[in-house]
Amino acid sequence: MLVLPISALLSKASLIPLAEFWARATEPVALSAYYVTFSMSVVAALINCFFGFILAWVLVKFDFPGKKWIDAAVDLPFALPTSVAGLTLATVYNDDGLIGCFLTKLGINVVFTRLGVAVAMVFVSFPFVVRTMQPVLQEMEREVEEAAWSLGASPWDTFVRVLLPPLLPPLLTGTALAFSRALGEFGSIVIVSSNLPFKDLIAPVLIFQSLEQYDFVGATVIGTVLLLISMVMMIGVNYLQSLGQKGRPKA
């Protein structure tokens, strides 16, 4: 299920002469698509890292009305088809939308821009940080914080020196997973962006456009580049997870 498709793509890419592979992988349109894809994925991952950590902390540490509804809503991007997510975002952020009408008055356009690409990536990848952090936060003992306070540490010192170090590996893992998810997003972005080269065209959409034009070599090259990058990202994620497991005390 996993090895055969990956092997087939790599095998097909190996049949392309290296000079042609490099030329197609470094075309101006491809380089622009890489830049938009990676830059917006990084922006989305950083936003999710910050707000995902805050939301996970609030859901674990506090009780408030509507907590279960918010907790359940976090998983909505997992269940919602990406095309529906794109349609929803386009409806909300267009010039006549609930949020878009206010942003337009401020001179901020979301739909059919790179900002719309980032918003879509944030939406589909947000749960990864929250769901990665929640179990770790739930396992942390309250007595550790109380012990630090009894020794004279301020709440900020307790957070930075006691709580944050064991939280960094899962936070980095969740951020890396969010980045990887944003990197491969297609369904929602193809709706909220204009898909124009050198503007907001991303690599997955460029692959689709190449297939529509029967440019199988170009699609194979770009797909292979993204595959290799994704594999490197997954190896990094596994390494971060192993660090987090080594840092946890044994029962």
Provide the pLDDT for residue 251: 45
Note the pTM of the prediction, 2 decimals.
0.85
Q: What share of the chain in percent tops pLDDT 70?
A: 91
Mean pLDDT of 11-16: 87
Q: pLDDT digit string (tens) for 60-93?
A: 888 888 888 999 889 888 888 888 988 989 889 9
Q: What is the pLDDT of residues 147-158, one digit of tens each?
A: 776 776 777 777
pLDDT at 190 > cutoff 70: yes
CA 90 distance to own-chain centroid: 19
- What are the pLDDT digits (tens) for 200-211? 999 999 999 999
pLDDT bracket for residue 121 (50, 70, 90): very high
How confident is the model over 110-139, as a mean pLDDT? 91
Residue 159: pLDDT band (50, 70, 90) is confident
Residue ranges and CATH numbers for the domains of the chain are: 17-247 (1.10.3720.10)
Which comes out higher in pLDDT, residue 109 or 151? 109
